[in-house]
Amino acid sequence: MSVLFIGMLVSRGSSEGQSLTIAVSKWLGTLAPTILFGLLGAHGFNGPSSLILVTGLFCSLFDLIYIAMLARTKALEKSQIDHMFSGVTRDNLHRETDPGVAIGNEIW
């Protein structure tokens, strides 16, 4: 699933609709059963499962790649916004524009 999230991030070219909180939660949700069933074994299992361990580690790898890519994208977007507004000061802001008298049923 993280491969799909990585693909979405790349195709959109922005972090719109994506959250680091959700990305980290997804990774932890993958990591917990990987540790429980892949490393420790659980009740009903005949010990640790190599299949779950390997699959979980690969999923975790892609989760971490997605988290890193998303964090980098969000940082770049923030720096672009900061740069865009860096020249705005109280001296160069325009005053509020008066829309004029209402003509018709407008309510101001």
43/13: higher pLDDT: 13
Reported as a single tens digit per residue, the pLDDT across 50-87 is: 999 999 999 999 999 999 999 999 999 988 888 888 88
Considering the entire predicted model, what is its pTM? 0.72
Domain count of the chain? 1
Answer yes or no: is 98 within a domain.
Answer: no
Structural domain containing residue 41 = 17-76
Answer yes or no: is 3 within a domain.
Answer: no
Answer yes or no: is 88 within a domain.
Answer: no
Answer yes or no: is 58 within a domain.
Answer: yes
Distance (Å, rounded) from C-alpha 62 to C-alpha 1?
9
Confidence of residue 108 (pLDDT cuts 50, 70, 90): low
Reported as a single tens digit per residue, the pLDDT across 36-55 is: 999 888 777 788 989 999 99
79: three-class secondary structure by DSSP: helix
Answer yes or no: is 11 within a domain.
Answer: no
Among candidate residues 65, 36, 37, 30, the one with its CA nearest the CA of residue 51? 37
